[in-house]
Chain A
Amino acid sequence: MSEHVNDLPEATEHRLEELEHGLFTSDLSVNEFLLVKEAGFHPVGLVMGSSIYHTGIQTRKWSQSQELTKLTEAMYNARELAMTRMEEEAAELGADGVVGVRLDVNYYEWGKDAAEFIAVGTAVKAEDGVSRRNKLGKPFTSDLSGQDFWTLSQTGYAPQGLVMGTCVYHIAHRGLGQTLSSTGQNVELPNFTQALYEARELAMTRMQDESTRLGASGVVGVRLEEKSHQWGSHTIEFLALGTAVTKTAEAVTLTKPMTIISLDN
């Protein structure tokens, strides 16, 4: 299984070898573990990938709203690297997918423009032996919890991959003359509205493109995050994240939840 070429460090290879012999590790809670089993999967190991990335510098025009493509690329590539390394670990374990993926960014004292991008999740494998890998032949990834993973399987959809799109955008400072309109009226500022639309649409569209590449029929659980990282308040990263899903052939009947009153607090 471990014959194909990859760039994983030796210690990682060793750690994964132990996992291939039946031991599993997982950061799932007991409830999540039981629900992953309920969905017909078995956890095979905690997998992770990380990348410490130096983000370049890009000059911003004071009074112009624009995308900072260099920073966008850096943010995207760094996450992509961390994700790919995590996927490689999962592939190494013969997993069909990774659930509960968390993407984090850490900043270190020593590098002003350096940041660590981490992806951590639990690799799972279908118990019926049928491959559940995605269209690209890779293990699927998803940020779904064990509970969500089971619920999704009940709806007849299967995860294909964690998809993301990002856009780092510089929002123009206002010139002196524009600081306050003198009429005493509070008015809409169309330039700002337009800039916000553009930045978020770019992030969303990029996320959808990823989903299309996976041949997915949709994206669920989309989250929109806005972060200024360490760039100051006018430069904002707009990040869209979600799990791409496809409809499986299996017919489903959704059971109606029953009404209960909990007497617990």
Chain B
Amino acid sequence: MTAHPESADVTPSSFTSGLSVADFAACLAMGLEPVGLVQGFCAMQSSNYAVGAMQRGLSPYQGQSGYVENYQCPHGMVAGEHRMWGQNYEQTWIEQTWSQGFASAYARMLEEATHLGAVGVVGVVDTQSALVGAGVIEFHLRGTAVRLAGSSATSATPWTTYLAGQRLVKVFEAGFAPVSVVASVASVRVWAYCITEYLMGGSGVSAWSSSPSSTEIDQIVRAHTQSRAIVRATAQSQLRGDKLQGVQLTVAQHEYERGDLEVQAMLRGNRVRRFRDYEALPAPQPTVRLS
């Protein structure tokens, strides 16, 4: 699978850039010349119904790897629809689809940047969108490849960052060098057992106690806590001693049907490497705007 970089007809003096004018100006001030808008795509089949989810409700999912937690009903046989067991498990295949799609699109973007002799890619934007109906998810990364003004192409792998403009200037000024954008996803499926189901439906409390009060739903709390821990650990494992700045962590909960939930956590950030200690910064001046 090869990308088609448009670089063939790009002469050294002609460039495209996705940067706003202000970011463009900041780039020039940093001695970085935009050489081209670079992109990478990957369309992946994306199905929830792979592996474990197929047997949902019949027997517990036996995870090969990843987080799995079982919940046993304390009541014994009550009724046919009574959920005697419940599970939280990490949907590793979704995480794999995601990391594979992202990594392929990323590699293709880098390929274009390398082809243009770029030293880095700034102002990266990544999107994942459902394409032509369900079952296909498209990973799209793009950014502006830059070169050091007046130097020849380098052979090193280009660095990447979500930042551009003055924010990137400050990263350099603060003693950091950008390394790469980092993104990861964690997905935990929740199959509620009887107590969780009753509590979610609001009936557990009044059923087991005489005065109305509130009770924490442990299984859901665990799913949220785990998905957040996993997504951070995945990102952390890619850092190798570097720092991750400007992280965005978002968590979404999706209910497929009663008692069947997915908690998905997504994380994005800029991996940077410290190359010298902080220096005394110019003291910022507090201002009030006269509008």
Contacts and interface: CB of A to CB of B under 8 A. Distances in A.
B14 interface: yes
B17 interface: yes
A260 B6 contact: no
Given A180-B45, A193-B1, A217-B13, A152 B287 contact: no
B284 interface: yes
Contact of A152 (B25, B93, B288, B289): B25
B51 A184 contact: yes
Contacts of A173: 132
B150 interface: no
B193 interface: no
Contact of A256 (B4, B13, B29): B29
Contacts of B238: none
Contacts of A180: 45, 47, 135
A23 interface: no
A211 B10 CA distance: 11
B100 A188 contact: yes
Interface string B81-94: 00000000000011
A123 interface: no
A252 to B, nearest CB: 9
Q: How large is the interface on A (under 10, 10 to 19, 20 to 34, 35 or more residues)?
A: 35 or more
B184 interface: no
A144 interface: yes
Contacts of B236: none
B9 interface: yes
A205 to B, nearest CB: 5
A189 to B, nearest CB: 5
Nearest to A243: B21
A124 B220 CA distance: 60
A151 B25 contact: yes
B96 A212 contact: no
A181 B43 contact: no
A110 interface: no
B288 to A, nearest CB: 5
Interface in B18-32: 18-22, 24-25, 28-29
Nearest to A190: B1
A193 B25 contact: no
A152 B44 contact: no
B11 to A, nearest CB: 9
B47 A186 contact: yes
Interface stretch (B34-42, B240-248, B265-273): B34-42
B44 A189 contact: yes
A197 B285 CA distance: 47
A192 B131 contact: yes
A261 B39 contact: no
Contacts of B37: 204, 222
Q: Which 3 A-B pairs have the closest CB atoms?
A: A192-B43, A148-B21, A186-B97
Interface of A: 144, 147-149, 151-152, 154-155, 171, 173-174, 179-181, 184-194, 196-198, 200-201, 204-205, 207-208, 211-212, 216-224, 233-234, 242, 254, 256-264
Given A196-B138, A224-B142, 18 more contacts: A155-B25, A173-B132, A185-B50, A186-B44, A186-B50, A186-B100, A193-B43, A196-B41, A196-B43, A197-B3, A201-B4, A205-B6, A208-B6, A211-B16, A218-B15, A220-B21, A254-B29, A259-B282
14 contacts: A180-B45, A185-B93, A186-B45, A186-B100, A188-B45, A192-B43, A194-B1, A197-B3, A208-B9, A208-B10, A218-B34, A263-B286, A263-B288, A264-B289
